[in-house]
Amino acid sequence: MTHLLLMSSLMPSRVIDPFGRPISYLRVSVTDRCDLRCVYCMAEEMTFLPKRDLLTLEELERICAAFIRLGTRKLRLTGGEPLVRRDVLKLVERLAQRLGSGLDELTLTTNGTQLARYAADLYRAGMRRVNVSLDTLDPATFTAMTRRGRIEQVLEGIFAAKAAGLAVKINAVAMRGVNEDDFDSMIAWCGRHGFDLCLIETMPLGEISEDRTDQYLPLSIVRGRLRRRWTLTETEYRTGGPARYFDVAETGRRIGFITPMTHNFCESCNRVRLTCTGTLFMCLGQDDQADLRTVLRDGADDAELEAAIRAAIARKPKGHDFVIDRRQDRPAVARHMSVTGG
């Protein structure tokens, strides 16, 4: 008993934001670089950060460990493209050692181009699920949306992940006039291969060289159309993220909808985002941030690092206020999704 009391007084308590939301999910962008240039995500010409600005693997691991001590149970590595960072597997292996000791899940969001190379090692390290971004099954549309990708490479990666034992969820950003006619075939394909599918509304993040108003497609419209062909029943299923899921009776799989624009999901927000330079964003759609790299490089010990994280989360805003509107000619936040990691 005394032993337990001593343990609980030594363990920092989990961190809760000003609106009573426990922060249990950290998304970590491990690089801002990507081998694709998806039209809704990046501009055609991007300037990437100099390598010295990036947190080292040790620094990334230290921040993640502090979050786990403060109640984070789920870690998602993202980017840029997480699998183009050299030594990313080493980070996965180190973080995976915390699974079962505070951490419930370590996962990844990837464009899939490098999955054929990494899938088996990710599974071996302890990863069990991956999200793969794939907006269409049409090779020409895929190349156009990514401005350079080859769909065969991604499909090879997806099937390598499946063969390695990883559960795969496909994420697709819905774009008006681009891939809006592809979702029926994607539902059928995901059903055949045992993947869940999640559709995402485009969010106004960063200058992208194109007009977002032309791209934006509300998922309320898409869902109405899908119901003509598929029997969708809302479920309570959650993955700790913002998607609302429906069972698809005809395929036996699920389809999720991430609708930051038509249905703001901030009330249940449990997450914060760390960039590859150690900047912590408390909200995907707001600019307020905390610089954890300086804290670390100034020589903070674990207690000081935890205090900096607590102070940041004490400023977490209630939610974003995204608007996509022709009268508004600037994005809601200037940074690209590839900085904060989606």
Number of shown-chain residues binding ligand SAM (CB under 6 A)? 21
**Is 127 a binder of ligand SAM (CB under 6 A)?**
no
Backbone angles phi, psi at 99, to 5 degrees: -60, 130
Site for ligand SAM in 301-330 (CB under 6 A): none
Closer Cβ to ligand SAM, 242 or 341, answer by number: 341
For the beta carbon of residue 99, count every other beta carbon within 10 angstroms. Answer: 16
Determine the interface stretch with ligand SAM among 67-75, 120-128, 197-205, 263-271 (rule: CB under 6 A).
Answer: 197-205
Least distance between ligand SAM and beta carbon 133 (Å): 3
Closer Cβ to ligand SAM, 9 or 47, answer by number: 47
Binding-site member from 41, 66, 92, 119 for ligand SAM (CB under 6 A): 41
Residue 266 φ/ψ region, left for φ over 0, alpha for ψ in the -120 to 50 degree band, beta for the rest: alpha
Least distance between ligand SAM and beta carbon 85 (Å): 11
Binding-site member from 31, 133, 239, 251 for ligand SAM (CB under 6 A): 133
Determine the interface stretch with ligand SAM among 18-26, 152-160, 292-300, 334-342 (rule: CB under 6 A).
Answer: 334-342
Determine the interface stretch with ligand SAM among 105-113, 175-183, 242-250, 283-291 (rule: CB under 6 A).
Answer: 105-113
Least distance between ligand SAM and beta carbon 82 (Å): 6
Closer Cβ to ligand SAM, 69 or 320, answer by number: 320
Backbone angles phi, psi at 19, to 5 degrees: -105, 20
**Is 342 a binder of ligand SAM (CB under 6 A)?**
yes
Give the residue nearest to ligand SAM (CB).
342
- Closest by CA to 32, choosing from 18, 15, 46, is 46
Per-residue binding string, ligand SAM, 56-95, x by CB under 6 A, is ----------------------xx-x--------------
**Is 164 a binder of ligand SAM (CB under 6 A)?**
no
- Closest by CA to 219, choosing from 161, 260, 271, 187, is 260
Determine the interface stretch with ligand SAM among 49-57, 68-76, 106-114, 296-304 (rule: CB under 6 A).
Answer: 106-114
Footprint on this chain of ligand SAM (rule: CB under 6 A): 34, 38, 40-41, 78-79, 81, 109-111, 133, 171, 173, 200, 202-203, 205, 337-338, 341-342
